[in-house]
């Protein structure tokens, strides 16, 4: 296998048209002399995704799993097949501006202490998704990226600080605590040193991975001029009630486990139990709201 500069790794499940649009924008990107390969890992699609990629994007390497391995195992599977000095983990529900990958790669080349780089993620209407984050404090359960209070007070200091809003507006590269694998460019050697994507996490795997990078004294940077459109929540296929319920529970479990790992909390540490109680209450409230909304939908 001939080594390349950038290995793009995409994981998909029953999202044929999203994958098509993502691969089209990759094909039309300005790579600025960087060599690249694209690896598509399909997690058991039944909508013709594999056949479409093989027919329309013949330069893409395709792996068709028979079942859904979930994101991290499939992402690691793609990394095992790759040859790039940089690994770009890219969601299948994204569309890239022409120089999005190029400016991220140049950022990593210019920052020797950076282990990973992210971009500016945008909603379909052009508004920010806030891809730059600090590790959460206790109050971010109420003042998180998508919480009600954050929507009511989007420019309050805790929200601006947590989401690096001022730094994004300045349009210059800056370091963060973590960013998502929606679009994350990672040095191969740092990816291996941090233990690869944590396969025992679904939600919070990005925080865990970036925290493990930070323990190695490696930095995570954001390049605001790298802009990628993200159709958030569409990349995993349809979400019936049972799937949405699972997402709420797994998010809460992941948040608890990350909190314990980040602070190295012993079993009987008070912070561990406070986090468990708070996250249980939050999950119960969200599950109740989900149940009520599902009943309303069934009646209409």
Architecture of domain 6-230: Alpha-Beta Complex (3.90)
Average pLDDT, integer, range 219-248 = 87
pTM for the structure as a whole: 0.91
Q: What is the DSSP letter of 136?
A: P
What does R_g of the chain's alpha carbons equal in angstroms? 19
**Is residue 184 classed as helix, strand or coil in its secondary structure?**
strand
Give me the count of residues in the chain. 300
Which residue from 81, 93, 88 is spatially nearest to 1, judged by alpha carbons?
Answer: 81
Find all residues with CB under 8 Å of 230, minimum gap 6, and list them: 91, 93, 94, 121, 122, 123, 129, 182, 183
CA 42 – CA 138 distance, rounded (Å): 37
Of 187 and 154, which is predicted with more confidence? 187
Bridging pattern class, strands 114-122 and 219-230: parallel
CA 186 – CA 75 distance, rounded (Å): 12
pLDDT value, residue 21: 97
Residue 31 has pLDDT above 80, yes or no: yes
Percent of the chain, pLDDT > 90?
75
pLDDT band at 149 (very low <50, low <70, confident <90, very high): low
Residue 154 has pLDDT above 80, yes or no: no
pLDDT value, residue 297: 66
Residue 114 has pLDDT above 90, yes or no: yes
Percent of the chain, pLDDT > 70?
93
- With residues binned 3-state (H G I as helix, E B as strand, rest as coil), the percentages for the chain, rounded to 5, are 45, 20, 35
Residue 299 has pLDDT above 70, yes or no: no
pLDDT value, residue 267: 87
Model confidence over 59-75: pLDDT tens digits? Answer: 999 999 999 999 999 99
Residue 19 has pLDDT above 90, yes or no: yes
pLDDT value, residue 161: 92
**What angle do helix axes 241-263 and 270-299 make, rounded to 10 degrees?**
170
pLDDT band at 232 (very low <50, low <70, confident <90, very high): confident
pLDDT value, residue 148: 63
Domain boundaries, given as residue ranges, for the chain? 6-230, 241-299
**Residue 28 CB: number of other CB atoms within 10 A?**
9
Average pLDDT, integer, range 107-126 = 96
């Amino acid at each position: 296998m001939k080594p390349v500069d950038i290995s793009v790794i995409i994981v998909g499940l029953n999202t044929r048209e999203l994958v098509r649009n993502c691969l089209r924008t990759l094909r039309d990107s300005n790579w600025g002399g960087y060599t690249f390969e694209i690896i598509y890992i399909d997690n058991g699609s039944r909508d013709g995704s594999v056949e479409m990629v093989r027919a329309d994007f013949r330069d893409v390497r395709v792996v068709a799993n028979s079942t859904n391995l979930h994101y991290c195992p499939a992402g690691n599977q793609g990394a095992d097949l790759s040859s790039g000095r940089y690994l770009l983990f890219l969601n299948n529900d994204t569309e890239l501006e022409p120089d999005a990958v190029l400016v991220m790669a140049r950022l990593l080349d210019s920052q020797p202490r950076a282990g990973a780089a992210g971009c500016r993620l945008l909603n379909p209407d052009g508004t920010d998704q806030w891809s730059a984050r600090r590790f959460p404090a206790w109050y971010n359960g109420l003042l998180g990226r998508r919480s009600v209070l954050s929507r009511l007070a989007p420019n309050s200091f805790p929200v601006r600080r947590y989401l690096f809003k001022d730094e994004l507006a300045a349009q210059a590269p800056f370091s963060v605590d973590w960013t998502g694998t929606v679009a994350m460019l990672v040095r191969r050697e740092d990816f291996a040193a941090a233990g690869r994507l944590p396969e025992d996490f679904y939600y919070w795997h990005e925080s865990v991975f970036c925290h493990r990078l930070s323990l190695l004294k490696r930095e995570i940077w954001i390049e605001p001029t790298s802009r990628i459109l993200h159709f958030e929540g569409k990349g995993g296929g349809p979400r019936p009630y049972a799937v949405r319920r699972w997402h709420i529970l797994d998010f809460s479990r992941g948040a608890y486990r990350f909190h314990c790992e980040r602070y190295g909390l012993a079993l009987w540490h008070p912070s561990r139990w406070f986090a468990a109680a708070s996250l249980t209450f939050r999950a119960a409230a969200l599950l109740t709201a989900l149940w009520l909304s599902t009943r309303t939908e069934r009646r209409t």
